[in-house]
Amino acid sequence: MTNSIFRTFLTLLLLIAVTSAHAGPANPGKKAIRVLLVGGGSSHDFDKWYKGADVETLQKDGLATVEYTSDPTTILAKIKDIDVLLLANNQPIADDATRKAIFAFVDAGKGLVLAHPALWYNWKDWPEYNQKLVGGGSKGHDKYGPFDVTITNKKHPVTKNVPETFHLDDELYYQIPDESGSPIEVLATAKAATSDKVFPSIFIVKYPKGRVVGIALGHDAASHTIAPYQTILRNAISWAAGH
Ligand SMILES: [Zn+2]
């Protein structure tokens, strides 16, 4: 080997070493979680806070690879290649085949995370969605404003490294469990300053086979850009993926 070829070879080795040192995953030994994030619809800046901020939050340190779509009709083709479905859509999932595929996905033990608009009672012709996958839902919320979130189960992986209480501006969802639906396990509650009413804010839906997490927070920048929300979102995706 001539000197110049040898130097080139050494440089290449060094480059490979440097590149792999920087590509280390957040969860060593585990593959990045494949997530499909579905947004779109009215009342929210989905491109900014879901396609933008949340995708960045989840992809940080290689935790997940996230594909964002604002078109629910694309779920059907993509669902076979993902570990976690993250629904934040404020628009209907209208076709029967996609609805069945979502239930089959969760029945197969896969992860489902339901964020903010996805907890709403939006779709009158699909009651099984709220009853079985959400374990209830929201039909109203306080006017956007400040409130406190309190972690009520600090031992669950979804609330790991989240401060016991945090304050934010958001819509306080009136999340009501459905007595005839899947039971929920509340991990954090939200309480408005002006009322004594307390509502579930972060919760697990005890759907028999799948791993389902509900996150009521998430209207705009005031939630998506704060550390507690970002930690909860990352924890929820990890837990839903079985990591
Ligand atoms: Zn909202």
Ligand 1 centroid distance, CA of 133 (Å): 20
pLDDT of residue 80: 97
d(C-alpha 148, C-alpha 191), whole Å:
6
| H-helix or E-strand spanning residue 150 | strand 145-151
Inside any domain, residue 2: no
Neighbours of 31 (CB within 10 A): 13
Residues listed for the chain = 243
Burial, 84: exposed, middle or buried (Cβ in 10 Å; 0-12, 13-18, 19+)?
buried
> Residue 229 corresponds to which tokens in the numbers above?
């929300």
Inside any domain, residue 25: no
Ligand 1 centroid distance, CA of 121 (Å): 13
pLDDT of residue 193: 75
Ligand 1 centroid distance, CA of 218 (Å): 7
Ligand 1 centroid distance, CA of 183 (Å): 24
How many domains, the chain?
Answer: 1
Ligand 1 centroid distance, CA of 141 (Å): 9
Domain containing residue 132: 31-240
| H-helix or E-strand spanning residue 136 | strand 136-141
Ligand 1 centroid distance, CA of 153 (Å): 25
pLDDT of residue 148: 96
Ligand 1 centroid distance, CA of 170 (Å): 8
Angle in degrees, CA 19, 23, 29, rounded to 5:
130
Spans in the chain with pLDDT lower than 50:
1-2, 6, 10, 12-25
d(C-alpha 177, C-alpha 193), whole Å:
22
Ligand 1 centroid distance, CA of 171 (Å): 6
Point out which residues pair with 149 in neighbouring strands: 166, 190
pLDDT of residue 196: 85
Q: Quick one: DSSP state of residue 31? A: P
Handedness of CA 165, 147, 145, 130 (dihedral sign): positive
Inside any domain, residue 201: yes
Q: CATH number for the domain including 223?
A: 3.40.50.880
Ligand 1 centroid distance, CA of 233 (Å): 16
Inside any domain, residue 23: no
pLDDT of residue 22: 44
pLDDT of residue 13: 45
Ligand 1 centroid distance, CA of 97 (Å): 28
Cut 0.85: pTM above it: yes
pLDDT of residue 124: 87
Ligand 1 centroid distance, CA of 44 (Å): 6
Inside any domain, residue 43: yes
Q: Quick one: DSSP state of residue 32? A: P
Neighbours of 35 (CB within 10 A): 25
Inside any domain, residue 5: no
Inside any domain, residue 182: yes
